[in-house]
Structure 1
């Protein structure tokens, strides 16, 4: 601080004009009365000159200063005779020592401390205000002296409270002459206090942290309660109004998550919060943070540990939009839509002080991690540092520096009038003239011209900093989510993007950015999510029911254990982002898979994903490579689950995008299941051999039934299996340390296989297994010897069981037994049957199903009359009524459509056969999409909009109503074909 010898009497003439003659007369009378008891003041007033003129003019302009002079006439007299700065230093020292007890009154009471601090504040405020009005100080000096007093007041109050805590038995002070030293209690000055830029009637922003293990707390576990209680007293000591006024209004809301945290926060908890959930506005706040009271060394250490949070190691352009959003929120909240003079908020309004501060802080956040020279606290120092680092040019630096201090001068005068915390220029001409005169303008018109020029300059410079915002966000408009309130520009952008409830969507997205979910706990995860947000919302908005899709994404994020990997993947691969949104808009089932097992998404990095068909050879090669590193049994089962989940997902993605048809998907799902089941059987058999030894002559054959047998599995299908076995008749038991007889051996093998497929592990379930189609169903043994299987099929099986056998196919096992099983199946199917009995049995079976399991609605394609069951029964009837088995070449690879094509022409009219194929294709394709996307039944009124679009695309119709009409027509036609085809011969 300069001008060490300047006194109030050193004022130059003509700096101030009185408010009016009436006020001038009143002030002159008051000063004359005071002069009777103060010779120095009397001598000053007796002289005609600039000092008397300036003093009387100042007191006409500020009623608060007039009252202060009346209470501090002695101080005014001293300031006329003595240098100001030593006098101010003495006042600051008195404030800092105000905590010290009087020898006769140990310990000091809160009330005594409050009086001492208030007197110090009044005295320093009076002298700095007069020096400022007289132009003996500039705004820089005024703010520094005000900040110095705030530092002293807070430090004194903290020392006092620490001693008080010792008196109450909660603390143990090491050094009573320096209570705060080594205490671990940290008081940081934030905002203007931290930057030593306090305004005349400013709030002071403080945050309080403490080290529980610093050695001062009697019970460290009680630290939060103890210090929070003391901090409530701190606020009262500083801001409660008494007969002596107040010291500073005190705000503790810049602490971590102020709505849910105590007034004093443990250091470790604070660091964890900032590391995991700290936001850009908090980073900006900590640029100016400075230890002002308590354990200053601990405060510096804390800020050092926090530095990587505030100043990132890379260029952080995402901070631009975030900080600018705070400014737009201020404008929306305060209604500051344009620059004006009357009623303008010179702090928060357009072109105001906050824009200059944000201009500096934003660029400090962007580059401060790479450029330590930018890590300065003061606004003017920040402008200089940016200039020296070539971030802003000389003209910008000069203009904004001049504008900043001009606006700070205006702010001070607004507050000096009545000691009010205001930033609003008066609405009335008379009061606006008062401010103009306090600033040295001849009239309010001259002041208004200068102010409008300053505000315009600031707005222009500030606006240029954010010109790139549209480019950075990737969409036309604002897309930023910060703080506690909606950004008005962002709400408009969300509405324009297609969201019907932008306020709700903004609230949800702010939840992500606040780190409330595990997936967004870390700063890095939130940054990567921010990077994809513009495209994410744009793509969501392109979907019908965009709000619904975003809500599903919210549910997905809520369940996601971590987000960095996925967000990075989406950020670096824009096509995957589109697919992700499509999944959220159409396929809740796939979304749940991603949420529970995010690694399935990794497979989408394959550039050939959507062009290479998932053939059996394709899947086999990848499965072999994936299983190759596996060692023990459990690892093999886990790898099989991982592989199956990923490949089912990727087949589903191909279907979702239209890269494959429903028929292609059915074959791919089936090939995948067959490969995985084969590998599982091999692993189980090796484990059986290890535990129980090889069974002499033992062979197995695993028969796939139902959709597994006919290559028509869906994404959600279980698998129907029958395990056949045979062995050497001469063998009594397996050849191992824990040998088993044949029945127990192959029963246990089957049970292990079922568990290996169906038991949940950390990697989930491979397939749900249904073995009810084995001989005697659930009443029979789980494993069937091949001879028993043959006898049962030839002698005991019902017609419906032979119908099921038409879809049987050996999917795994030993070559010898596989060949025998296929021969038996072919022979049983080729058995000549009574046509009338066959038709009657099939119709009876269909009637029974219709009675016991009626369709839910028209969308229940399996059960509706003329639906998939009718089509399957037509094909099964064709197989069982064929003159000889040789009519069906290569039965191992036939689907329902294949059987219709091969056997239908002999008995079904060509037009009817075409209808059957059309209906089968439609029902199968749409069913594949539905089973891929949702777990339950399809209900049009509640189905995701994206799913409806997919169904319409898959069906090739205009809309859902057209599809429903088509389904009704086809089902009626197929029921007619069923009635004509499955009937006794005439």
Structure 2
């Protein structure tokens, strides 16, 4: 009676599922057999449970009837069921895994180890399956348990092999009590093992590497053979079938070049392969790679070294195409065409597990180089981060996550039947009912009602990601007719479609478009590029048809295409994101500067695809954070300089595109461009300092600060501005030379450092130039030393500086360098500017300087707003004069000219606030015009779309009103200038 009461609690599993057997008569027979076996073995609690009316007895017997695999385990090891009447299944599984992780015990032979591992695997199979079927554990929890056991088993087998080789003198271990430590040999779990998402009867994907610099194998030449034999033995220990079954079927085909490479591959060989020959599917595979055995420190270092291979500098839309092609090959090879239930493969078939994985991995590969939070191994985590970052909506992430685990539950159920690595649903109704009940559903009808909508949802989501351009094209008018332009320029249906889209000279446009298919341009020379272009052609033609002048817009795109060095990435980008075509059309027709930037560096267009594009203007701190993340993947100094160029060009392009799209007001752009320069100059200076110090060391007590001048100093940069800089330095008075292997005297050290900094910014690289740099505002201009000692600068300013040099200082601020020294530099500049000179002298000098500029550099047209009388220089000079004469507070040094004017006391000669308002208007014009052709000095010379943007920014009726408005405003400014400063005569 006591034992019956103990059994009254049932099995310590829990869960709300109550599976029914598929054959009641067979279930009663198995119950009788198991009850008899319990009695024979003295398993009193199990026997009492089976003899009772407790629902767990029915649940257990139903599972054993439904699954021949679990039935065999239970009948062979009924004592494990006895354990479940006294201990929670989760605890028993955890204890089994922990015991496996402690193997091998001293003196254990290979046969004994294999038996122990196989029995441990059967225990895990029983405990996890019952928990899963009873509904006590989620599919995610089941997958983690299965993955943890596989990891422990691989570790045990590896340790055994290492210790055995040590006993035979084949390897040298740093610590035989911990053979994996510092061995240099490590195992990466790939695929579902790496992601801790193993299915119930999964193969495990492994890759084994070794650090050839570690002394594991005494003779390095023997390492490939010795360690490959070790791997072969480890795989046999895990995979060979014995009377107790197997531990894990293993697959090593995810290693580099599996047909040619050994089973254990040196890190150096692997890195060379990935950098030179790695393919997109290998990048996708490496997303899930996780160290599971061996030298974890060496594994972490290796994974860190291949980050640049996996996570690209650019958004990589060719990866989407590669993954799509991979899935299509699977479909063709396996014959997966339709969504269904009977005979459907829930892993590889349409709407299956692989489509959800590819959905996540494709977008991880696209953006993971920029967004490190996307570098998630687990599918569920990747979907969550994609939603959090705005790459997909939260509803899509939630839906796909729920569907993923439903599919995984069904997959587990399929495999529990016979422990087969199958993902295919049976075709017979009775067998479908078995799977349904193991998956927690009533019968095959319930399975169909639950699973079919899931498969359809996944198929729809996957199709939208990989076929968005095609879907978009199908909604365009006469898409089929437009696509025929690839084959003929004289197709009547295509010509009619072009006319319907608004093209005036349909025949000419047709000939241009057809020419793209002939491969005359570099961007369309490859068949892959032409195929991508053909896919998106109807959508592209429709987008340009919406332009103010469709024919001119298409002709501009043709010129753009002619200059594009490569097309595959660009067309893949458009195919994956057809919504960007409208903005692209605006850029190509209205903003030549941005158009040329895309043509030279197509990847700058990546920046527009960030989900935050429309919703934010990045702050200085956010830019600093993003650049830091991007730079963390730098392999060396040259790579760092390339990454700085990529980041700067993308971010500058982004500001320009936002201006054109109306996201950023043009008078806000100066601060945005200046923030970009600030963070880039910080990183550039740090990289140059580090690289320079590697050869020349450091000067004792050295401190440096980079002073921004001109538009950079006043935070008014434009899209095409160069940067005016002065590098200040200081050091210990007793310092005579730097402390590196090639020491330099301090003055030479900082001059050379400045030269290196200039080269870092101006050297033409594949990614372009970072910034054009001007150091001529330093003391004595081009005649003085490149780097400026702060003490010498202070002395120069006190004794030799001209008024114009002090004017330049009013637009200055430190943008990089030592924080304490930066404060000292800025305090010095404030002190210099606070030394009042005779106001009359300052006024006369400022007015005379403006007159010299006007005579030496006359304005070249109405839109030469910088130089024309009453233009930007007049306003800047008034602001600088106000700071030098005490009419504006010195706290405004380094502020935009408009802010200085608004705060300046200019009465009674002028109204500072009115001038500030005019300055803001002028700033909008200048910022927008910098997106246009460099020589445009009249409104007629500005592209029509850009001219309309300028007029809109000023609330004018149209482009024809721009020049009259400027005439009136510049006349008012010139009158104010003369009122404040005189005419310079």
Q: 2:802 pairs with 793, 798, 801, which one?
A: 798
Does the C-alpha gap of structure 1 residues 913 and 838 become closer, same or farther in structure 2, counting only changes over 3 Å?
Answer: same
Does the aligned pair in 2 maintain the 1:556–1:595 contact within 8 Å?
Answer: yes
Say whether residues 1:530 and 2:559 are aligned partners. no
Map of 1:486 onto structure 2: 490
Alignment of 1:845-884 (within 5 A): 845-882=849-886
Say whether residues 1:501 and 2:502 are aligned partners. no
- Report the secondary structure of 2:904's partner residue: helix
Map of 1:820 onto structure 2: 824
Map of 2:900 onto structure 1: 899
Alignment of 1:263-274 (within 5 A): none
Say whether residues 1:626 and 2:627 are aligned partners. no
Deviation string 1:94-151 (CA, Å, 9 cap, x unpaired) is xxxxxxxxxxxxxxxxxxxxxxxxxxxxxxxxxxxxxxxxxxxxxxxxxxxxxxxxxx
Alignment of 1:90-101 (within 5 A): none
Does the C-alpha gap of structure 1 residues 834 and 606 become closer, same or farther in structure 2, counting only changes over 3 Å?
Answer: same
Alignment of 1:683-702 (within 5 A): 683-702=687-706
- Report the secondary structure of 2:485's partner residue: coil
Map of 1:680 onto structure 2: 684
Map of 1:982 onto structure 2: 981
Separation in 1 of the partners of 2:981 and 2:588? 44
Unaligned runs of 5+ in 2: 1-327, 338-469
Separation in 2 of the partners of 1:829 and 1:906? 22
Alignment of 1:739-888 (within 5 A): 739-882=743-886, 887-888=889-890
- Report the secondary structure of 2:858's partner residue: coil
TM-score of the superposed pair, with normalisation by structure 2: 0.51
Separation in 1 of the partners of 2:503 and 2:939? 21
Does the aligned pair in 2 maintain the 1:571–1:577 contact within 8 Å?
Answer: no
Q: 1:635 pairs with 621, 635, 639, which one?
A: 639
Map of 2:736 onto structure 1: 732
Does the aligned pair in 1 maintain the 2:724–2:773 contact within 8 Å?
Answer: yes
- Report the secondary structure of 1:733's partner residue: coil
Does the aligned pair in 2 maintain the 1:888–1:902 contact within 8 Å?
Answer: no
* Aligned-pair CA distance for 1:473: 6.5
Deviation string 1:1-24 (CA, Å, 9 cap, x unpaired) is xxxxxxxxxxxxxxxxxxxxxxxx
Map of 2:943 onto structure 1: 944
* Aligned-pair CA distance for 1:567: 1.7
Say whether residues 1:923 and 2:922 are aligned partners. yes
Separation in 2 of the partners of 1:659 and 1:841? 41
Deviation string 1:615-654 (CA, Å, 9 cap, x unpaired) is 2112111101001121321111111111111111111111
* Aligned-pair CA distance for 1:484: 4.9
When structure 1 is superposed on structure 2, of 518-527 and 818-827 the one drifting more is: 518-527
* Aligned-pair CA distance for 1:503: 1.6
Map of 1:960 onto structure 2: 959
Separation in 2 of the partners of 1:470 and 1:669? 35
Does the C-alpha gap of structure 1 residues 799 and 639 become closer, same or farther in structure 2, counting only changes over 3 Å?
Answer: same
Separation in 1 of the partners of 2:495 and 2:475? 14
* Aligned-pair CA distance for 1:564: 2.5
* Aligned-pair CA distance for 1:601: 1.4
Does the C-alpha gap of structure 1 residues 956 and 633 become closer, same or farther in structure 2, counting only changes over 3 Å?
Answer: same
> Whose Rg is larger?
1
Alignment of 1:201-600 (within 5 A): 472=474, 474-475=476-477, 478-479=481-482, 480-600=484-604
Map of 1:889 onto structure 2: 891
* Aligned-pair CA distance for 1:935: 3.3
Separation in 2 of the partners of 1:481 and 1:592? 27
Does the aligned pair in 1 maintain the 2:604–2:649 contact within 8 Å?
Answer: yes
- Report the secondary structure of 2:582's partner residue: helix
Separation in 2 of the partners of 1:483 and 1:788? 72
Structure 1 segments of 4+ aligned residues over 6 angstroms from their partners: 311-316, 468-471
Separation in 2 of the partners of 1:570 and 1:632? 32
Unaligned runs of 5+ in 1: 1-307, 317-467
* Aligned-pair CA distance for 1:663: 2.3
Deviation string 1:854-912 (CA, Å, 9 cap, x unpaired) is 001110010111000000001011101116x8x343645x1111111222466655xx3
Map of 2:358 onto structure 1: none
* Aligned-pair CA distance for 1:743: 1.3
Does the aligned pair in 1 maintain the 2:951–2:961 contact within 8 Å?
Answer: no
When structure 1 is superposed on structure 2, of 546-555 and 780-789 the one drifting more is: 546-555
- Report the secondary structure of 2:725's partner residue: strand
Does the aligned pair in 1 maintain the 2:730–2:789 contact within 8 Å?
Answer: yes
Deviation string 1:401-425 (CA, Å, 9 cap, x unpaired) is xxxxxxxxxxxxxxxxxxxxxxxxx
Does the aligned pair in 2 maintain the 1:669–1:713 contact within 8 Å?
Answer: yes
Separation in 2 of the partners of 1:637 and 1:780? 28
Say whether residues 1:665 and 2:664 are aligned partners. no
* Aligned-pair CA distance for 1:522: 3.2
Does the aligned pair in 1 maintain the 2:590–2:945 contact within 8 Å?
Answer: yes
* Aligned-pair CA distance for 1:497: 2.3
Aligned residue-pair number: 521
- Report the secondary structure of 1:941's partner residue: helix
Separation in 1 of the partners of 2:471 and 2:835? 77
Does the aligned pair in 2 maintain the 1:497–1:538 contact within 8 Å?
Answer: yes
Deviation string 1:156-177 (CA, Å, 9 cap, x unpaired) is xxxxxxxxxxxxxxxxxxxxxx
Does the aligned pair in 2 maintain the 1:832–1:881 contact within 8 Å?
Answer: yes
Does the aligned pair in 2 maintain the 1:716–1:935 contact within 8 Å?
Answer: no
Separation in 2 of the partners of 1:701 and 1:469? 54
- Report the secondary structure of 2:844's partner residue: helix
Separation in 1 of the partners of 2:938 and 2:587? 18
- Report the secondary structure of 2:949's partner residue: helix
Does the aligned pair in 1 maintain the 2:883–2:893 contact within 8 Å?
Answer: no
- Report the secondary structure of 2:753's partner residue: helix
Does the aligned pair in 1 maintain the 2:594–2:653 contact within 8 Å?
Answer: yes
Does the C-alpha gap of structure 1 residues 934 and 713 become closer, same or farther in structure 2, counting only changes over 3 Å?
Answer: same
Does the aligned pair in 1 maintain the 2:921–2:954 contact within 8 Å?
Answer: yes
Does the C-alpha gap of structure 1 residues 530 and 629 become closer, same or farther in structure 2, counting only changes over 3 Å?
Answer: same
Does the C-alpha gap of structure 1 residues 532 and 471 become closer, same or farther in structure 2, counting only changes over 3 Å?
Answer: closer
